Amino acid sequence: MAGERQARLADRIRVLIAERLEKGLRDPRLGFVTITDVKVTRDLQHASVFYTVLGTPEEREGTAAALKAATGMLRSEVGKQLGVRLTPSLEFIPDAIPENADHIAALLREAAERDAAVAGLASSATYAGDADPYVKPREDDDED
């Protein structure tokens, strides 16, 4: 029951913050932000808001600063919209999904290149001994 309430509250917070950021903040440092997930503690007192930013490392840093500066205002707006007795505190955490995805894509490219190299070697390979290395029963001459 409590887990269900946490999930509903987290989803509602994610939607409210995303809608508010879509309208824009009056902070020029804010980049193109996507809210990827929200986790709410069991006691519903704290919400960790995960986000990604499209752009350079400098734009990511600027966005982090803009979100930190706007945390109080965003919490107030979320509180008004939620209608709960206690509004959870908000913490903005950069999500590592894009960096992890880039790393995984690089690993997959490397694996594909190695597979192609092995396939190239295999296509020109020859057997070290006979083509069929298994011992076959001898055909005895009928000398009876």
CA distance 40 to 13: 9
pLDDT tens-digit profile of 50-73? 998 887 888 888 888 988 998 999
User: Does pLDDT of 37 surpass 80?
Assistant: yes
CA distance 89 to 108: 39
Sorted by where each starts, the structural domains of the chain and their CATH numbers stand as: 2-95 (3.30.300.20)
User: Does pLDDT of 142 surpass 70?
Assistant: no
Q: What is the pTM of this model?
A: 0.65
Residue with the two structure tokens 């206690």: 86
Asked if 24 and 86 touch (Cβ cutoff 8 Å), the reply is no
Q: How confident is the model at residue 1 (pLDDT cuts 50, 70, 90)?
A: low
- What is the average pLDDT across 22-43? 84
Rounded to the nearest integer, the mean pLDDT of the chain is: 83
